[in-house]
């Protein structure tokens, strides 16, 4: 058996471990690229969501590389995600790929443990070995997913302080490779310190006062840098500190009903959107309020073109929340037509606006920049985020 799954940024490292720990070989699709998008667009229904097209291209690429088992997440949410796997399987068969099976990974409610059926489907037939391997697979998967989240968190902070442009990207690539190759429980336990030490050893300029921006949106767009035109790197290289709480780990913990941060965001969003309408809509609204309350300078909302839940969240922010919280927000709707030049110009204009607003605020309130920063950091972000912020702010 040779298994594969579509790309979603760095998450491939965690998914790869999940499958490999079950004793199954993995072939990764090439990183999402123009060719994969072209194929996805060509064979998908025109108005289907953009992540459907991008992942269809990845799956075809995996089949071309010899995969015979494809794993695709499904959900029972109120939007189109629930149909991805079955429609993609049909399209791939129509494209001429007959000898593969597509296993839907049901992640609607992980506490129902239906996902274990998938793990068992790809595992060995011996019952005892099967349970031992499944336990190890889940444990390693969760640990790697958490470390990937920490790498993403530190990346968003340190890039705004790096002296040599590109250092953070190099550190991230190095850590991701190292994490991919770490396959012992001791190594994974120690990896949090590896991340901290590697970032802390970077050559950074602690005298800077970067703008702080929260970033949120639909999960596939938020995590896959090719489809979001690498927005987090671009903002960071413009000297902006960013925090994005959406990650694979964040999503998995939420599906186990243990994500208290998401529950907090739902609480904040409830007066404005009292139910889950699909995508990340509820949490985007919560994030906007949380980010504004924490004194951040701006907010970025990214989503796929035609994504109904995210467009609803956008409308609520524009028509209602912005008047209450007065936090500048920029929206990016991505699809196969998105080009990098207009995108960069919009980002630069947004960053200029945020600088002007912050300067005026500091002048009006007659406070120092250090006092201004303290307002924001008292109650925001997870432990790792706060440890990193403390490090870059300690002179």
> What's the min distance (Å) between Cβ of 272 and ligand SF4?
18
What is the distance, to the nearest Å, from the Cα of residue 7 to the centroid of all Cα atoms in its chain?
12
Nearest alpha-carbon partner for 294 in 207, 382, 206, 217: 382
Range list of β-strands (E), the chain? 2-4, 25-26, 69-74, 101-106, 211-217, 240-243, 298-304, 329-334
Spacing of C-alpha 91 from chain mean position: 27
Enumerate residues 206-245 that contact ligand SF4 by CB under 6 A.
Answer: 218
Q: Is residue 309 part of the contact set for ligand SF4 (CB under 6 A)?
A: yes
Contacts of 370 (CB under 8 A, 6+ apart): none
Pick 32 or 153: Cβ nearer ligand SF4: 32
Whose Cβ is closer to ligand SF4: residue 49's or residue 62's?
Answer: 49
DSSP secondary structure code for residue 338 in this structure = -
Residue 133 interacting with ligand SF4 (CB under 6 A): no
Binding flag, residue 307, ligand SF4 (CB under 6 A) = yes
Q: Is 108 in the site for ligand SF4 (CB under 6 A)?
A: no
Q: Does 308 sit near ligand SF4 (CB under 6 A)?
A: yes
At closest approach, how far in Å is the CB of 332 from ligand SF4? Answer: 14
Piece in contact with ligand SF4 (CB under 6 A), picked from 62-70, 79-87, 98-106, 364-372: 79-87
Q: Which segment (73-81, 153-161, 225-233, 367-375) binds ligand SF4 by CB under 6 A?
A: 73-81
Integer Cα distance of 123 and 20 in angstroms: 10
Length of the chain: 395
Cβ-contact 302, 290 below 8 angstroms: no
Residue 333: which of 34, 49, 38 has the closest Cα? 49
User: Please, which residue, 5 or 191, has the CB nearer to ligand SF4?
Assistant: 5
Interface residue with ligand SF4 among 51, 156, 236, 286 (CB under 6 A) is 51
Binding-site residue total for ligand SF4 (CB under 6 A)?
13
Residues 6+ apart with CB under 8 A from 199: 154, 158, 171, 388, 391
**246 vs 388, which CB is nearer to ligand SF4?**
246
Report if residue 311 touches ligand SF4, rule: CB under 6 A. no
> Segment contacting ligand SF4 (CB under 6 A): 98-106, 247-255, 285-293, 307-315?
307-315
| Residue 29 DSSP label | P
For residues 176 and 173, give the distance between their C-alpha atoms in angstroms, rounded to a whole number. Answer: 5
Q: Is residue 132 exposed (0-12), middle (13-18) or buried (19+ Cβ within 10 Å)?
A: middle
Of 394, 358, 33, 50, residue with least CA distance to 206: 394
Closer of 49 and 294 to ligand SF4 (Cβ): 49
Q: Kindly tell me which residue out of 16, 60, 80, 314 binds ligand SF4, with binding defined by CB under 6 A.
A: 80
Compare residues 318 and 390 and give the one whose CB is closer to ligand SF4.
318
In the complex with ligand SF4, the residue whose CB is nearer, 58 or 310, is 310
- Considering the rule CB under 6 A, would residue 304 count as an interface residue with ligand SF4? yes
Q: Does 273 bind ligand SF4 (CB under 6 A)?
A: no
Binds ligand SF4 (CB under 6 A): choice among 9, 279, 286, 298 = 279
Among the listed residues 5, 10, 14, 81, the single contact to ligand SF4 using CB under 6 A: 81
Determine if 40 is a binding residue for ligand SF4 (CB under 6 A): no
CB contact at 8 A, 286 and 268: yes
CB 215 within 8 A of CB 300: yes
Interface pick for ligand SF4 out of 19, 24, 28, 79 (rule CB under 6 A): 79
298-304 and 240-243 beta bridge pairing: unpaired
Give me the residues that bind ligand SF4 (CB under 6 A), please: 49, 51, 79-81, 218, 278-279, 304, 307-310
């Amino acid at each position: 058996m040779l298994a594969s799954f579509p790309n979603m940024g760095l998450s491939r490292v965690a998914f790869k471990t999940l499958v490999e720990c079950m004793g199954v070989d993995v072939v990764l699709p090439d990183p999402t690229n123009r060719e994969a998008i072209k194929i996805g667009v060509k064979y998908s229904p025109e108005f289907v969501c953009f992540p459907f097209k991008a992942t269809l291209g990845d799956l075809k690429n995996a089949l071309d590389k010899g995969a015979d088992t494809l794993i695709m997440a499904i959900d029972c949410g109120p939007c189109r995600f629930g149909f991805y796997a079955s429609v993609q399987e049909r399209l791939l068969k129509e494209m001429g790929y007959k000898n593969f099976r597509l296993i839907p990974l049901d992640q609607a409610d992980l506490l129902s443990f239906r996902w274990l059926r998938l793990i068992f489907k790809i595992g060995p037939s011996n019952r005892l070995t099967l349970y031992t391997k499944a336990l190890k697979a889940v444990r390693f998967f969760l640990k790697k997913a958490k470390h990937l989240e920490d790498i993403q968190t530190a990346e968003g902070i340190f890039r705004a302080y790096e002296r040599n442009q590109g250092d953070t990207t190099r550190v991230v690539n190095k850590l991701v490779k190292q994490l991919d190759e770490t396959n012992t429980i001791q190594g994974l336990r120690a990896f949090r310190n590896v991340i901290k030490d590697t970032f802390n050893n970077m050559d950074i300029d602690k005298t800077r006062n970067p703008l702080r921006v929260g970033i949120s949106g639909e999960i596939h767009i938020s995590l896959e840098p090719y489809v979001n035109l690498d927005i987090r790197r671009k903002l960071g290289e413009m000297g902006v500190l960013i925090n994005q709480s959406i990650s694979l780990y964040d999503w998995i913990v939420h599906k186990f009903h243990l994500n208290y941060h998401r529950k907090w965001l739902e609480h904040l969003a409830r007066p404005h959107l009292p139910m889950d309408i699909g995508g990340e809509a509820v949490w985007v609204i919560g994030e906007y309020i949380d980010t504004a309350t924490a004194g951040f300078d701006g907010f970025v909302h990214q989503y796929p073109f035609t994504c109904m839940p995210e467009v609803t969240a956008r409308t609520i922010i524009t028509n209602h929340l912005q008047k209450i919280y007065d936090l500048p927000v920029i929206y990016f709707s991505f699809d196969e037509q998105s080009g990098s030049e207009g995108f960069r110009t919009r980002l630069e204009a947004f960053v200029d606006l945020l600088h002007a607003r912050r300067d005026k605020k500091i002048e009006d309130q007659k406070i120092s920049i250090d006092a201004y920063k303290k307002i924001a950091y008292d109650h925001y972000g997870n432990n790792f985020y706060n440890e990193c912020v403390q490090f870059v702010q300690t002179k």
